Amino acid sequence: MLIDFNNLNINQLSFHSDFEKKVRNFLEEWISEGNTVKVQTSGSTGIPKIFGIEKKKMMNSAVMTCDFLGLKEGDNALLCLPVEYISGKMMVVRSMERKLRLIVNEPSLHPVDHLDQEVDFCAMTPLQVENSLDKLHLIKNLIIGGAAVSESLKNKILQMNLDLSNKIFETYGMSETLSHIALKQLMPEPEDYFTAFENVTISLDGRGCLNIFAPNVNAEVLVTNDLVEIKNNKQFKFLGRIDNVINSGGAKIFPEALEALVKKEIPNEAIFVGLPDERLGQKLILIVEGDQSDEMVQKMSRVSFEKNFHKPKEIIFIGKIPRTPNGKVNRMELYKLISKDI
């Protein structure tokens, strides 16, 4: 279905599928007299929770993204994310703020299989992008969020030889920042650092974690558990989450950095965890999703680790890595699963 926010009349729209009805419910909640709307967190770093967010702050967030991407009234946008979460809700709010024409597609792992027209703006998860490579040329501005973009996916995007007018970004943000507060370009010019939006201030705390002050979307300084390297007052590089850091023999290991190296060689999901060890404290284990094969082992043997203690002490192959409802790897459940089996 198509929602033209330049001429919106909810009563004249036909909402048929369950997803379309969820979009309608959100629109009705938005135009109600209340100042807030309910948003559900993904549960990737804890128990999922529901909290209220001010509509005004969501609009402020929408303005930042639309201005950064240069979106204008009448542009086409594509919604293919669940509206229970901030990612899907913000696609609707951005369309309202900029008076876009919003194409509503049922969220799936293959969201653009039937797309036959160009769109100016779309947001997807990495897994959705992985299954949409043949249609990326139809999307002028694509933002990827919900999980880190793997090195293998970055390479696939670069090999697409897209037109220079096609821009693809990785996002940085969370529910508390109303989706993202920074973008990192992947196409046409790959960047190493995220660039924060205007009116967003970044700093480090004593742990080396990122602190964010974005008064347009959150009145308080947001203290994250994300370890980062700050280049200047607007740019930073994500290193990993402090609660994922593995201490093996006194050495601190950032699993996300090692996972990026492994995924340059293999297409499978690969996660590093630290299991209890009497001698090392934590033993570095690599978990790979899929069946073990000589070819897979050979590819992983080509991974060039910077330090010897970065090499996993053991590699475990499992059929399916547990994920949260919106597709993020659930490291807590994975740790429990592996610990139980060993």
- The domain segmentation of the chain, as residue ranges, is 2-198, 245-341
- The pLDDT of residue 129: 95
Distance CA 222, CA 224 (A): 6
C-beta of residue 42 within 8 angstroms of C-beta of residue 85 = yes
Query: pLDDT, tens digit, for every residue of 309-326?
Result: 999 999 999 999 998 776
What fold characterizes domain 2-198? Rossmann fold (3.40.50)
- The pLDDT of residue 75: 97
Q: What is the mean predicted confidence (pLDDT) over 301-311?
A: 91
Query: pLDDT, tens digit, for every residue of 194-241?
Result: 999 989 999 999 999 999 999 998 889 999 999 999 999 999 999 888
Query: pLDDT, tens digit, for every residue of 247-294?
Result: 898 888 999 999 988 988 888 899 999 998 888 899 999 999 999 998
DSSP state of 302: T
Q: Model's pTM, two decimal places?
A: 0.80
DSSP state of 314: E
Q: Is 136 helix (H, G, I), strand (E, B) or coil?
A: helix
- CA-wise closest residue to 121 among 103, 148, 107: 103
Q: Spelled out in words, what is the top-level CATH class assigned to the domain 245-341?
A: alpha beta
Residue 241, H or E segment? strand 235-241
| Residue entry with tokens 């930073």 | 236
DSSP state of 100: -
- CA-wise closest residue to 249 among 227, 226, 274, 270: 274
Distance CA 34, CA 280 (A): 54
- The pLDDT of residue 341: 62
pLDDT at residue 41 tops 70: no
Distance CA 225, CA 243 (A): 7
pLDDT at residue 100 tops 60: yes
- The pLDDT of residue 155: 87
Q: pLDDT higher for 56 or 12?
A: 56
Mean pLDDT of the chain: 90
- CA-wise closest residue to 236 among 281, 200, 273: 200
